[in-house]
Structure 1
Amino acid sequence: MRLRVGYELVYECPQPTPMLLMLNTHYSRAQDMLVPDHINTQPWVPLRQYQDAFGNLCTRLTAPPGVLTLSARGVFEVPPNHEVPGSNGYQHTIEELPDECMMFLLGSRYCETDLLSESAWQIFGHTPLGRSRVQAICDFVHNHV
């Protein structure tokens, strides 16, 4: 099955504005690309790209004063059926987690964990551990964001 993806984002900047974009499909899906999702700018601005520690393709640019439009279109070959979660919903203890997972448990500057932790426990603390709790969080985000 073919999946067409794309976006058009329009920004208005009062002055030259450095931007860091993470808008491309992850490199692990590159083999599925029929039409790559290259970033286009209007007006044209130079783009610099690099791959971060997680394999994301990051794009740097400086938006000129005025309106800047970012867009991309891509086509991917994807399986006809959606992914089905495995039946194992076990939630590992922190001690059982591999070292490379630990960085994902740290606070983030994008989410004020000290302010949101209490609310998160109130909303999700009653849910069963493991896959059920993750699904409850995903459903909440889907319905509220």
Structure 2
Amino acid sequence: MSSDKKARPGAYLLATSHPLADCPLHAAFVAVGGKWKLTILYWLAREPHHFSGLLRRVAPISHKVLTEQLRELEADGLVERLVAGRVPAPVQYRLSGYGETVLPLVEEARVWGLAHLQRMRGPDPAPSAAALGCGDALSR
């Protein structure tokens, strides 16, 4: 078993044969779309996290899915994986400099989502315990 858990460079690049390969919206969605990536980026924007810390923050995500999402974010250059020491080394994840450029999108999605929740549930919805704690604005 290899100790190198990094995704292959370019493993998640857009296929040039895809009909939307040149569409900027498609490229953005491939990089940060899906069920978990914006939430992962939100928590990494607040502070670097160990894998287990992210697993708790982004619950109910599974271990396997979090691993896949982090590898994809790392392959796209949005997240850095920092290994501190020898194997088994503690690993921390943090936003890369390039990853910080996506924070306005993350914050706008959070603000829009809050407005959408208020529109659908009324102006004062009771906060849900399952809201993942994503209600606070990013302060970057």
Query: TM-score if structure 1 supplies the norm length?
Result: 0.22
Larger Rg: 1
Q: Which has the higher helix share?
A: 2
Q: Which has the higher strand share?
A: 1
